[in-house]
Amino acid sequence: MDYLSNNKILSKLPARLKQFVVDQHYKDYTAIDQAVWRYVMRVNMHFLSKIAHKSYLEGLRKTGVSIDAIPSIEEMNVILSEIGWAAVAVDGFILPNAFMEFQAYNVLVIAADIRQLEHIAYTPAPDIIHEAAGHAPIIANPEYAEYLRRFGEIGAKAISSAKDYELYEAIRHLSIIKETKGTTDSAIAAAENEIKRISDTMDEPSEMAKIRNLHWWTVEYGLIGALDNPQIYGAGLLSSIGESISCFKDDVIKMPYSILAADQNFDITKPQPQLYVTPDFPHLSFVLEEFANTMAVRKGGLKGLEKLIASKSLGTVELSTGLQVSGVFTNVIDDGNYKPVYFQTLGETALAYRDKELIGHGVAYHKDGFGSPVGKLKNINLAIEDMSPKDLEAYGIYEGKDIELVFEGEISVKGEIITGVRNLQGKIILISFKNCTVKHKERILFQPEWGVYDMAVGKDVVSAFSGPASYESFAVKLQVPKEKTRQKSLVSGDLVLENYYKQVQMHREGIKKIKIFNIFNEIMTSYPKEWLLIFEICEISKENISLYEKIYRHLHSLMKQEPLKKLIQNGLILINE
């Protein structure tokens, strides 16, 4: 993976993201894989030239995505760098937060696997057709590329629920086994039932669940233009032979894209019954900002703290002074009027300001958690953070002074002030006490024998978001999925078929001529249900009229098998034109 260090954009990726990057292993793609890519791209290009947004077709050229061969991610990066983007190979579905953060760095993640021939029309698993041929070309549009980057930036701050990761693992598992040869119908049904079970037991959708919905209905399955005559720009549609055509049928409901799409869930195993149409790319950014205004990262408050507690994972609150507290939040006390008056973390916690750890306030110091009151002092209109040095002295808030601070939320902090920390504007953001007792009414929250008490200063919680303020404070490694995608293994029979594909490919590319008639007969005998290779042979046999007609008739006979009918029809359209 030398291209990580050699690429200006990729070299800036933090280690927590680089751990998701895998080698593409381009030589492992078989001739069958290459034929699958070529077929899908040619059929899609034929239809998409009429129904896709113009940015897609222009983007294919700008992003170096070839129609005839699976793209090399390393070579794509050379071209993508010209538009300020890059790409990396990953192993299937990765964590939503990691996926979003890659986007925030202007990096496209590409699942390096390619779908099986049996799933050539559609696969629920991310693959290189979906990622490279679906996502990459459209980012050549500057307006859309900025939307994607901004989406990643906002999405990476979205707070997940404890159940979100469980659902992610279940969806990843289904996508893997569906693309694994020999998986039984019962195993697939069990995986689908597990997804349904988790979905049915989930509480109110988290921020991550909602923003994932917005991503699905735009980046994956978005339509653009007039409601009654839209075009495709979503990668899921652009990379699906079947759905890119069927989505225009009247029974697929078309709705104006709005923030309401955040509440519309989706099922990756079925064609989408409804789609959203944006009038233009700027409208996507408008809705994204509208949704961001509902998120805890912008609203903070009690609701933000409650979301962090429900997530049971590392998150951050920022106070009105700019002080940031990062940890696993376990408790919040409110004043009965929906305003937090005290919050508590458990375990390793770090304090930061402007995303940089405060010296001396890392996880080694706050290894047992952190708790602090929020709000104004009782019967004092001036908040501590707004007090000048003279004000602080007048109210007895200075070093060496024994004092009891009573907050409006009935939180009392009693002890001797040791020191304080100020921000760049001179506002006090942290006060440290010794011999300190902290109470909520009669309930003890901190007692002297626990050591020094550090009290955050801030009248409001202005922001709450997923992850730490400073990643350097934590040995954070975003969890890499335990279950890996299963690499295809060619059994002995497949090796023979693979060799036939290879010979036809070499003939088409002018590397080595073959006796087309002999190979056709061998396939007819040994692989009577094989259709894609027959299609490729039909295409290169047009100069031999009698052979061409024989092959053509055989393809028509295969069309009696319903799953193949549309696939062969689409291929024959290309040959006839």
Q: What is the pLDDT of residues 64-90, one digit of tens each?
A: 788 899 999 988 898 888 889 999 999
3-state secondary structure of 382: coil
Count the alpha carbons within 13 Å of 239 in the hemisphere toward its beta carbon: 30
Q: What is the pLDDT of residues 93-139, one digit of tens each?
A: 888 889 999 999 999 999 888 988 888 887 777 889 888 888 889 99
pLDDT at res. 287: 98
The arithmetic mean of pLDDT across residues 442-459, rounded, is 97
Q: What is the pLDDT of residues 325-341, one digit of tens each?
A: 999 999 999 998 999 99
H or E stretch including 413? strand 411-422
Distance CA 298, CA 461 (A): 10
pLDDT at res. 2: 62
3-class SS string, 324-377: EEEEEEEEEEECCCCCEEEEEEEEEEEEEECCEECCCCCCCCCCCCCEEECCCE
The pair of three-digit structure tokens given for residue 100, joined into one six-digit string: 């979003």
The pair of three-digit structure tokens given for residue 344, joined into one six-digit string: 């508590």
- As to burial, measured by CB atoms within 10 angstroms (0-12 exposed, 13-18 middle, 19+ buried), residue 472 is middle
Question: Is pLDDT of 471 > 80?
Answer: yes
pLDDT at res. 289: 98
What angle in degrees, to the nearest 10, is found between the helix axes of 162-178 and 185-200? 160
**Band of pLDDT at residue 562, cut at 50, 70 and 90:** confident
pLDDT at res. 75: 87
3-state secondary structure of 489: coil
Distance CA 160, CA 98 (A): 12
pLDDT at res. 60: 83
Name the CA radius of gyration of the chain, rounded.
29
pLDDT at res. 271: 85
| Buried/exposed code over 198-231 (b: 16+ C-beta within 10 A; e: otherwise) | beeebeebbbbbbbbbbbbbbbbbbbbeeeeebb
From the list 53, 76, 108, the residue with the least C-alpha distance to 234 is 53
With contact defined as beta carbons under 8 Å apart, do 407 and 379 qualify?
no
Question: Is pLDDT of 479 > 70?
Answer: no
Higher pLDDT, residue 340 or 493: 340
Question: Is pLDDT of 577 > 80?
Answer: no
3-state secondary structure of 244: helix
From the list 189, 168, 167, 169, the residue with the least C-alpha distance to 178 is 189
Distance CA 87, CA 65 (A): 12
The pair of three-digit structure tokens given for residue 402, joined into one six-digit string: 């024994």
pLDDT at res. 286: 98
With contact defined as beta carbons under 8 Å apart, do 266 and 210 qualify?
no
Phi and psi, residue 184, nearest 5°: -80, 155
Distance CA 157, CA 529 (A): 50
Q: How many CB atoms lie within 10 A of CB 270?
A: 9
Distance CA 202, CA 413 (A): 39
Q: How many CB atoms lie within 10 A of CB 170?
A: 19
Question: Is pLDDT of 477 > 70?
Answer: no
Q: How many CB atoms lie within 10 A of CB 439?
A: 17
* Among the ranges given (148-157, 263-272, 443-452), the one the predictor scored with the smallest mean pLDDT: 263-272
Instruction: Please provide the average confidence, as pLDDT, over all residues in the chain.
Output: 90
Highest mean pLDDT among 29-43, 289-303, 378-392, 490-504: 289-303
Q: How many CB atoms lie within 10 A of CB 44?
A: 24
Could you say which DSSP state residue 21 is in? B
Count the alpha carbons within 13 Å of 247 in the hemisphere toward its beta carbon: 35
Question: Is pLDDT of 342 > 80?
Answer: yes
pLDDT at res. 340: 97
**Band of pLDDT at residue 268, cut at 50, 70 and 90:** confident
Q: How many CB atoms lie within 10 A of CB 290?
A: 12
Could you say which DSSP state residue 70 is in? P
Spatial CB neighbours of 503, under 8 Å, sequence gap ≥ 6: 512, 514, 519
With contact defined as beta carbons under 8 Å apart, do 176 and 101 qualify?
no
Residue whose structure tokens are 């006390």? 333
Higher pLDDT, residue 369 or 16: 369
**Band of pLDDT at residue 241, cut at 50, 70 and 90:** confident
pLDDT at res. 176: 84
Question: Is pLDDT of 490 > 60?
Answer: no
What angle in degrees, to the nearest 10, is found between the helix axes of 492-508 and 516-526? 150
Q: What is the pLDDT of residues 196-227, one digit of tens each?
A: 898 888 888 899 999 999 999 999 999 999 99
**Phi-psi category of 365—alpha, beta or left, where left has phi over 0 and alpha has psi -120 to 50?**
alpha
* Among the ranges given (73-82, 468-477, 525-534), the one the predictor scored with the smallest mean pLDDT: 468-477
Distance CA 274, CA 247 (A): 9
The pair of three-digit structure tokens given for residue 181, joined into one six-digit string: 């040869």
pLDDT at res. 341: 98
